[in-house]
Structure 1
Amino acid sequence: MSLPFPEFLANFSQLTSLRLSNAGLHGNVSDKIFKVTSIQTLDLSNNEFLAGFLPAFPATSSLQTLVLAGTQISGQLPDSIGSLRWLTILDLYECSFLGLLPKSMANLTQLVYLDLSRNMFTGSVPSFRGFKKLTQLRLSHNKFSGPVPSTYFEGLTRVVSINMRNNSFNGTIPFLLLTLPCLQKLDLALNRFCGQLDEFPNSSSSLIEIIDLESNNVEGPIPDSIFNLPNLHILTLSFNKFSGTINLHNIQKLGNLTSLGLSHNNLTLNVRGNDSTLLSFPPMISTLRLASCNLRTFPQLRNHSNLAYLDLSDNQIQGKIPSWIWSILGNDIFLHLNLSSNYLVGFEQPSPKGFTSHMTVLDLRSNMFQGRIPVLPPFASYMDYSANRFTSVLPYDIGDYLGSTIFFSVSGNQLTGNIPESLCNGFDLEVLDLSYNNLNGIIPSCLINMSSTLMVLNLRKNNFHGFIPEIFPASCNLRTLDLSENVLNGWLPKTLAGCTMLEVLNLGNNQINDYFPCWLKSFSNLRVLVLRNNNFYGSIECPDMNNSWTNLQILDLASNHFSSSLPSRYFSGWNAMMVNENDSLSGLDHLQHKVFMLSDDLYYQDKVMVTSKGLQMELVKILTIFTSIDLSNNMFQGEIPEELGLLKLLYVLNMSGNAFTGLIPSSIGNLKQLESLDLSQNKLNGVIPNQLAGLTFISFLNLSFNQLEGMIPRGSQFATFSQASFEGNKVLCGFPLLKNCTSTEVPGFSPPTMDDSHLDSDTDIDWCLIGAEIGLLVGFAIMIGPLVFCKKWRQWYFKNIVDRVLYMILPQLDRAANHGRRANRTQRKRQLERWI
């Protein structure tokens, strides 16, 4: 039931308390209710469709409690909020507020509870030193920035919890935070704090139970003070730059520790005592995140019956998994095991007979397991066995173990044989990746029929043959379909047109024989389309295909038999390749699919092969800003459309090996992000546009074997290309070609001429002038001879005489030379930063 806000309540002049939490209110809240001076408690929380703005508060307001959490009330906080001098509780959790916090908030000295989390507040935060009664400070999931000095927290003797998670705070972490006498929880994760974490006094009497500094840039050793906190339950320091060695006997001091996160720092965890025996973790430990801690052996966890989460990935653990692992995996509470990216070869002993596990995540990828795939845990939602050396066939009953599985990957092994029909019993599968194996046979029809639940189906680089089954369901839910590098033939199934949610469609390197699939125009989410190296033919012109692929990043139609001209209207709708002034490169991301209902760090990562700078390479992570168009080795003809110049975010453009004619469009000079341009082996004519010389990031250029003419433009990047970039153009001239330009090859070029009278053959010879000229030549030879034939003379002369004289005559040359050296260093630094 949904009701509008009851505005009549604002007429109750003696109203002191109004609680309408979870009342199903919608529409806009009345401004008048905030101006009732008698009201002391106003609670409108958890009305998700209630909107509006905060008006100016009256100076005589009696408000003590203002709770608007879980509404859509938005806008900036008014300056008049500082007039609420009696306010003790301000709860704006998960609203839609934005902008800077008003300075007047410093007047709210009676605050006990302040929650501004999950809004869009920006800028710095005010000092809290005046909030002497504050117990809860929650600022998480905003866009706050700037440093937070220790002085901000002076006098907060009652504060119990500080949560500043997921903002952009920077500077060093104020050590005063860890000395607040009542503090129990400190969460500064997902910020930009840096510097070292200082030692702090009185750690043995501290009440701190939770410290979370994950995903910052804190460096240096972990202070010993932390290991003296007697009440510490949760310590999360992962994804920082902490360094040094941690001895496990220090961690043993934390007798109440239940969760430890040290992953992805520059730490080395020493799990052995002075006598080289393996030490144990605190007995209550339930979560251990020790990825990338330079471990060389399994830590001693034999007797840790409370363990539910274990991450030992990205270490150097060798050999076999110890037999005690089965007693841990068999615990009813154990859920997550990640042993990926080590050097494991198998198990010391197979699972006990009748073994069952309630584990939901099993990650064994990137190890050295061999032979048969081990027994699959029956309740696991996520299983990744990729990048190992399994050589068996897929078990005929594999589907019986996948009843609860959402993610299953055996990619990058040496599996053989057919796909068993039982695999289709994985009714909950969202991601199925069998790529990079030696599987063969036809693709089972039931597997295609699973597309109503599957989000990712990857069968890339196997030996599947035959037709693609023509039974994609109308309820197709696929986001990624990769059938590339097989031996599939025939035509594309028309039922694939129902998979309109597709973001990645890769059918490259098969033997598919069909027209260009015009029904793809309805795939508005498409980001990657690869049809390369098949037998597609005909025109790519499709009716009503305007603004169809607004998200397209990568288009690869290379090595087919496409013909006709390029439809110029296509390019004007490819928004993802255009500059958007509202976009920010600070939010770089990769093309990936979250595995739903599981932890945040589990996802499927899309990959694709692209041709860039003349080489094929695999993008194992597709940046959402990476863009590429490859139309090479077809039979396209006509002129290259000027509209290509709209794609200002394009990184790679390859149109080689076609029959394009006409001029190179000068608009290509607008593609300032372009790094690779290949227009070779066409029939392009005319001069090379000077605008191309302004492409400062271009590192690969191939214009060879066309009919280009005139002088090669001069530019900072053009000077770096070899003759191979321009060869095969008979009337092209200038550096780096050996052919010099003449007046007939460069329009408008006129060599210097002499007056006809100087060409008269009967003119008398003036021997006095001839003698002077001979003397000049002899003197010139005496000066120049040593420079020509003596290397040391030549080096000394140019270094000490020529440069010095030139700089005296034209001092701006000296400044320009120095500036050029600095500019080259700066330009190189910028280019490196683009790829880091």
Structure 2
Amino acid sequence: MKRLLELIVLFVLAPLCARCLNLSLNDDVLGLIVFKAAVEDPKQNLATWDEDDDSPCNWTGVQCSPRSKRVVELNLDGFSLSGRLGRGLFQLEFLQRLSLSKNNLSGNLSPNFARVDNLQVIDLSGNNLSGTVPDDFFRQCGSLRVVSLANNKFDGKIPDSLSSCGSLIAVNLSSNQFSGPLPSGVLSLSGLRSLDLSDNALVGEIPKVIENLYNLRTLNLRKNQFSSQIPDGIGSCLLLRSIDLSENSFSGNLPQTMQKLVLCSDLILSRNLFEGNIPEWIGEMKSLETLDFSGNNFTGHIPTTMGNLQYLKVLNLSSNAFTDSFPESAMKCQNLLALDISHNFIMGNLPAIGSLAKLQFLNLSGNSFVGPIPETIGDLKALSVLDLSRNRLNESIPKAIGGAVSLMELKLDENFLGGELPSSIGHCSFLTTLFTSHNNLTGPIPAELAKLSYLRNVDLSFNNLNGTLPKQLSNLPNLLLFNISHNDLKGELPGGVFFNTISPSSVAGNPSLCGSVVNKSCPSVLPKPIVLDPNSTSDSISSSLPPSTNLRRNRNILSISALVAIGAAAFIIIGIILITILNSRVQPPTSSLSAAALALSIGDDFSHSSSPDANSGKLVVLSGELDFSAGAHALLNKDCELGCGGFGAVYHTVLRDGHSVAIKKLTVSSLVKSQEDFEREVRKFGNVRHQNLVTLEGYYWTPSLQLLIYEYVSGGSLYGLLHEALDDNVLPWNERFNIILGTAKGLAHLHQSNTIHYNIKSSNILIDCNGQPKVGDYGLARLLPMLDRYVLSSKIQSALGYMAPEFACRTVKITEKCDMYAFGILILEIVTGKRPVEYMEDDVAVLCDMVRVAVDEGRAEECIDSKLRGNFPAAEAVPVLKLGLICTSHVPSNRPEMREMVKILEMIKCPSELQELG
């Protein structure tokens, strides 16, 4: 520290006294150490920067000239640095490339950057820099070739001084808050090859001097407020490869000069106010790979010259006012990957799309197509999304649909389709969405649907489907929506957690359906009567006997029933006595549990055991000394039930010494046959202790009944605090953050102990009296090694929305990354205050999808729980939200580890005291 202070003093005084003292200072070491002193380096990426070194050339991120040994490049991209840009960088007089992107640097820009004469590249993108860019920032920029200030918080006008940088070849000021008109001088930089001003608030017209940018390759003005017409001068930019003018207010027709841009591969003009016809000369732009004119006011027919665009991969003409039929010539574009002409007024039959072998996305919805779905649909082996909804298609769904083996989304709703839903749909093994509502489909729901393990959203409502529902549907592990309302289906709904809790609106309008969901009991199947003499009929026996004999016969039958009942009762009593005796012999001396009292409290579970070993029980205490001699009657009393989860019900009781415990009665007991296996696994996760984990204090074993004895956590579950609390008892942000962090610490400790939780959800996060989270229900999956993932997932399917996608894939190993996915969903639930899956009348909202769209559109803060009423630090909440999304990646290897999550969360945390003072 002393050395550092000396260097800082020298840095300040050196210009005044260096000559008189004739000091030999290394300006590069001095400048970089002063820069380091002004920033925070949480990951210690700058640890090699030592002020005692004579040269910085071996420091991380630093490159020197081999001749002069002076610093020529500083690259600290993604180093997680925070703080301000200090004066030290101005000391690097030979610096040519400066890249500090993807950090958390803040504050304003200093005009002193312009004093670094040799600087060629400035990249400060992806930080939190703010304020206006000084007018004289670019006054002395003779060597500057590349400047990127993207993804910051700069506002005000783009400085006119930028036009004085004659050597510039690339300018990126995107994703800021720049406003005002575009300086015409910027469009006079004839050497410019790339100009990106997207996602700002720029207004006015594009200056006509754009014709001077004859070296321009990329022009991106997306998401601003530009208006008027595109100037004719754009046709002079003959080297343009990519044009994106989307999400502005451009109007009028396309300038004819654009047909000269024969090298252009991407032309994106979506969401503007363009009108008129698409000109036939569009076919002359033969290099086009992406053509997006969606969301405008184009009218007339789609030009036949589209067929000339042999390199075209993406064609999006949706949400316009095109009429007539779709040109068959467009089927010549055999490199098409995506075709979207939805929401127009196009008529006629569907085009013969079978020739588009590479097509992956096809959306023709919201038009007036008529006739059948062509059989050639089965030739599209790469097609993943097919949307033909809201047309006038008729006839039946072709069996050839099963040939589209890559389909993930199939939407045929709101047509006039008839016939049966083809069983060949079972060949589309990747299908996640199936919508065929509002048609005239008949026949049964094919059992082959149960093969589609990825299915999430199914809507077959408003048809004429009949028959019973296939029972195999209960095995589908990922269902979020299954709407079969307003059909003619009958019989009992399939079993399983999903169908037992399905929304009544999803099954309404089927008078012959039965079950608890529709509040209609199903007719019971009565057993056949017992025939005592198989060689005689009951009529012959009764007719050959006098009335008194018949009476004696009935009495004999009743006597037999009574004897059976008496024998069963005796067996139960003997079993209870045996349990008492055996428990007194095998019970560990540290336990004072009365086996008889426990037996009485759980009566039926013992009395129905068919195993002779069921009469012996074993209590093991893992933590302290438990005394059950009083209060045992309440162990499994319904009045003391706290809740019921995928693995069993939980009860609360207070022991004689005042100690509260929670007891879980496992519902999977019939699947756990080995006492040795049970005790080995329970002891493993019973030895895992952490302040953020619910402590397992003991267990009780019989082959037919297993109990787990936990510490009692009095504050309730996180689910209750988030979704059931009154409006005046909203969970504040600081407590939410601490719950996220504490949960991460508990799970990190589990993973370090080689234990996968397997069932993370808000109802399994308990809150103690100090507001600290405690993770419960961990390790229970280890009790069921004989179950495959499909059976196991059905046991925990109450965790709907938390389950990682790989649960549905038989060949993928279940790892800690599954916990990471569920933890990511939990983060989103805590930050947004919304459930992972929200059911509505005719739709379902998936939280992670909703948040991902909002973040991609720059609306992350809109996702924060509205109950907080703005009382949260965006600098914490938004990064935490994005962190949750990272954890929900569909690729397991892209999810971080839990111990990394703890470190990241600790870095995100801002001092709450400073927030309160501010």
Following the alignment from structure 2 to structure 1, what is the Cα–Cα distance between the partners of residues 44 and 465? 57
Following the alignment from structure 2 to structure 1, what is the Cα–Cα distance between the partners of residues 708 and 889? 30
Task: Letter of the 1:234 partner, please give it.
Answer: E
**Is residue 433 of structure 1 aligned with residue 409 of structure 2?**
no
**Is residue 363 of structure 1 aligned with residue 139 of structure 2?**
no
Q: Which residue of 2 aligns with 1:244?
A: 82
Deviations 1:462-498 (A, max 9, x none): 1111111222354632111111111111011122122
Task: Letter of the 2:174 partner, please give it.
Answer: S
Shift of 1:536: 0.7
Task: Letter of the 1:381 partner, please give it.
Answer: R
Give the structure with the higher percent strand: 1
**Is residue 235 of structure 1 aligned with residue 211 of structure 2?**
no
Task: Letter of the 1:562 partner, please give it.
Answer: L
**Is residue 553 of structure 1 aligned with residue 393 of structure 2?**
no
RMSD over aligned Cα atoms: 4.2
Task: Letter of the 2:151 partner, please give it.
Answer: D
Q: Which residue of 1 aligns with 2:652?
A: 799
Following the alignment from structure 1 to structure 2, what is the Cα–Cα distance between the partners of residues 739 and 752? 25
Following the alignment from structure 1 to structure 2, what is the Cα–Cα distance between the partners of residues 294 and 805? 52
Secondary structure of the structure 2 residue equivalent to 1:685: strand
Superposed counterparts of 1:152-163, under 5 Å: none
Task: Letter of the 1:386 partner, please give it.
Answer: R
Distance 1:793 1:296, change over 3 A: closer
Following the alignment from structure 2 to structure 1, what is the Cα–Cα distance between the partners of residues 46 and 86? 20
Shift of 1:294: 1.0
Q: Which residue of 2 aligns with 1:285?
A: 119
Deviations 1:135-158 (A, max 9, x none): xxxxxxxxxxxxxxxxxxxxxxxx
Q: Any conservation in 2 of the 1:399–1:424 contact (CA below 8 Å)?
A: no
**Is residue 571 of structure 1 aligned with residue 402 of structure 2?**
yes
Task: Letter of the 2:406 partner, please give it.
Answer: A
Distance 1:474 1:363, change over 3 A: closer
1:256 to 88, 94, 97: 94
Secondary structure of the structure 2 residue equivalent to 1:252: helix
Stretch deviating more after TM superposition (204-213 or 649-658): 204-213
Secondary structure of the structure 2 residue equivalent to 1:724: helix
Task: Letter of the 1:812 partner, please give it.
Answer: Q
Give the structure with the higher percent helix: 2
Following the alignment from structure 1 to structure 2, what is the Cα–Cα distance between the partners of residues 657 and 485? 23
Superposed counterparts of 1:449-528, under 5 Å: 449-474=283-308, 476-518=310-352, 520-528=353-361
Task: Letter of the 1:659 partner, please give it.
Answer: N
Deviations 1:228-280 (A, max 9, x none): x9633233333x35132243323234333222222223x2155567xxx7554
**Is residue 306 of structure 1 aligned with residue 143 of structure 2?**
yes
Stretch deviating more after TM superposition (703-712 or 380-389): 703-712
TM-score (norm 1): 0.58
Following the alignment from structure 2 to structure 1, what is the Cα–Cα distance between the partners of residues 457 and 187? 58
Following the alignment from structure 1 to structure 2, what is the Cα–Cα distance between the partners of residues 640 and 262? 57
Q: Any conservation in 2 of the 1:210–1:235 contact (CA below 8 Å)?
A: no
**Is residue 535 of structure 1 aligned with residue 372 of structure 2?**
no
Secondary structure of the structure 1 residue equivalent to 2:298: strand
Deviations 1:575-632 (A, max 9, x none): 434xxxxxxxxxxxxxxxxxxxxxxxxxxxxxxxxxxxxxxxxxxxxxxxxx321111
Superposed counterparts of 1:114-513, under 5 Å: 196=45, 198-199=47-48, 201=50, 203-208=53-58, 211=61, 231-238=70-77, 240=78, 242-265=80-103, 267-270=104-107, 279-280=113-114, 282-297=116-131, 298=133, 300-328=137-165, 331=166, 333-347=167-181, 350-352=183-185, 355-375=188-208, 376=210, 378-379=213-214, 380-395=216-231, 397-447=232-282, 449-474=283-308, 476-513=310-347
Q: Which residue of 2 aligns with 1:750?
A: 526
Task: Letter of the 1:302 partner, please give it.
Answer: R
Deviations 1:120-141 (A, max 9, x none): xxxxxxxxxxxxxxxxxxxxxx
Distance 1:648 1:198, change over 3 A: farther
Following the alignment from structure 2 to structure 1, what is the Cα–Cα distance between the partners of residues 298 and 235? 24
Deviations 1:43-73 (A, max 9, x none): xxxxxxxxxxxxxxxxxxxxxxxxxxxxxxx
Superposed counterparts of 1:619-768, under 5 Å: 627-743=408-524, 749-750=525-526
Distance 1:752 1:341, change over 3 A: farther
Stretch deviating more after TM superposition (349-358 or 692-701): 349-358
Distance 1:708 1:820, change over 3 A: farther
Shift of 1:378: 2.0
Q: Any conservation in 2 of the 1:470–1:495 contact (CA below 8 Å)?
A: yes
Distance 1:244 1:206, change over 3 A: closer
Following the alignment from structure 1 to structure 2, what is the Cα–Cα distance between the partners of residues 502 and 554? 14
Distance 1:451 1:652, change over 3 A: farther
Task: Letter of the 2:391 partner, please give it.
Answer: N
Task: Letter of the 1:204 partner, please give it.
Answer: D
Following the alignment from structure 1 to structure 2, what is the Cα–Cα distance between the partners of residues 712 and 281? 76
Q: Which residue of 2 aligns with 1:827?
A: 803
Secondary structure of the structure 2 residue equivalent to 1:341: coil
Secondary structure of the structure 2 residue equivalent to 1:521: helix
Distance 1:550 1:325, change over 3 A: same
Secondary structure of the structure 2 residue equivalent to 1:369: strand
**Could you list the runs of 5+ residues in structure 2 that have no partner in the other structure?**
1-42, 532-537, 543-549, 563-633, 644-649, 655-661, 667-699, 710-758, 760-776, 783-792, 805-818, 826-887, 896-918
Shift of 1:639: 2.1
Percent identity (aligned)? 27
Task: Letter of the 1:325 partner, please give it.
Answer: L
Deviations 1:287-312 (A, max 9, x none): 12211211113263321211111111
Following the alignment from structure 1 to structure 2, what is the Cα–Cα distance between the partners of residues 507 and 666? 34
Distance 1:685 1:501, change over 3 A: same
Distance 1:539 1:245, change over 3 A: same
**Could you list the runs of 5+ residues in structure 1 that have no partner in the other structure?**
1-193, 214-224, 578-626, 744-748, 770-786
Secondary structure of the structure 2 residue equivalent to 1:472: helix
Following the alignment from structure 2 to structure 1, what is the Cα–Cα distance between the partners of residues 330 and 62? 47
Shift of 1:528: 0.9
Following the alignment from structure 1 to structure 2, what is the Cα–Cα distance between the partners of residues 211 and 713? 61
Deviations 1:335-375 (A, max 9, x none): 1111111111125x843599342101011111111122244
Following the alignment from structure 1 to structure 2, what is the Cα–Cα distance between the partners of residues 420 and 469? 17
Q: Which residue of 1 aligns with 2:773?
A: none
TM-score (norm 2): 0.53
Distance 1:721 1:262, change over 3 A: farther
Q: Any conservation in 1 of the 2:262–2:285 contact (CA below 8 Å)?
A: no
Secondary structure of the structure 1 residue equivalent to 2:400: helix
Q: Which residue of 1 aligns with 2:614?
A: none
Following the alignment from structure 2 to structure 1, what is the Cα–Cα distance between the partners of residues 472 and 638? 40
Following the alignment from structure 1 to structure 2, what is the Cα–Cα distance between the partners of residues 489 and 359? 41
Secondary structure of the structure 1 residue equivalent to 2:486: coil
Q: Any conservation in 2 of the 1:248–1:271 contact (CA below 8 Å)?
A: no
Shift of 1:320: 0.3
